[in-house]
Chains A and B, each alone.
Chain A
Amino acid sequence: MHIDSKTHPRPRRVLSPHLQIYRLPLTALLSISHRISGALLAVGFILGNLLLVAAATNARTFELITGGLLHPMGRLAIAGWILLFNYHLVHGLRHLLWDLSLGFSRSKQTGFAVLELISAFTLTALMLLAPGLLESGSAP
């Protein structure tokens, strides 16, 4: 249906606050962070496959890359990736709970959000502080 803009001028509506100045509630921030972390994890997935290709085709290149990953900056990048993964995992679990119609209580939303953040950081700290890891020499 075509509406003639001359005979039917567009009503002057109140503009919503722009997203850049609108202060998002914590739950909304966590929701968008789930998407951002997922997109960054997908980049990590592609890089991980490239690392596998390097391992399969050129030992020298593979050692150069793993050497870079063991550098403090490399370790920082890995720590960041683990944090993104843990956050995505924790928020994903919350999505699974929502799918089961659990955790919709309005009063507990912020509490759940804080719990998510604490869980993601705690999991990351536990993984990073686990003793030995690459130097331990013992397979599980």
Chain B
Amino acid sequence: MTRHMAHGRESGRRDWLLERGTALLLLLLVPWLGLHLAFLPGLSQAHLADWLHAPINAMALASLILMAALHASLGLRSILMDYIATPSLRALSLLITRSLLVFSAVIGLGAIWLLHTGATP
């Protein structure tokens, strides 16, 4: 029991730090992305691929996706934990939410790789 509580306290502390850490990184990355997208010459596939060809842009966008996925996962987890009382339904909704975010991040990162390397059809 004591070990279980200590584990809960430790994971809670870790989640709290991760939520704040990712929030601070997103505070830098999202305005950076917004500025760059706003000043792209146009919103065509060629313009986006050209922009993502620069390693710094590809790396920053990939970091943004990872940070946003982690931040969203932690945030949605606390919402679901607070509002869904039935354990099985709560576990299922957590699984669906996390799977959606992971899948979304993976396909986003894959798309960045394709655009960065110029392997688009």
Contacts and interface: CB of A to CB of B under 8 A. Distances in A.
Interface residues of A, number: 37
Contacts, number: 98
A70 to B, nearest CB: 8
Nearest to B46: A59
Nearest to B73: A42
Interface residues of B, number: 39
A49 B65 contact: yes
B94 interface: no
Contacts of A66: 43-44
B36 A140 contact: yes
Contacts of A48: 108
Given A49-B107, A57-B114, A38 B76 contact: yes
A49 B23 contact: no
Interface of A: 35, 38-39, 41-42, 45-46, 48-50, 52-53, 55-59, 62-63, 66, 69-70, 85, 89, 92, 96, 99, 127, 130, 132-134, 136-140
Contacts of A45: 68-69, 72, 101, 104
Contact of B39 (A38, A58, A99, A138): A138
Nearest to B69: A45
A35 B81 CA distance: 13
Contacts of B107: 49-50, 52-53
A79 to B, nearest CB: 13
A52 B108 contact: yes
A140 B68 contact: no
Contacts of B112: 52, 56
Interface string B68-87: 11001001100100000000
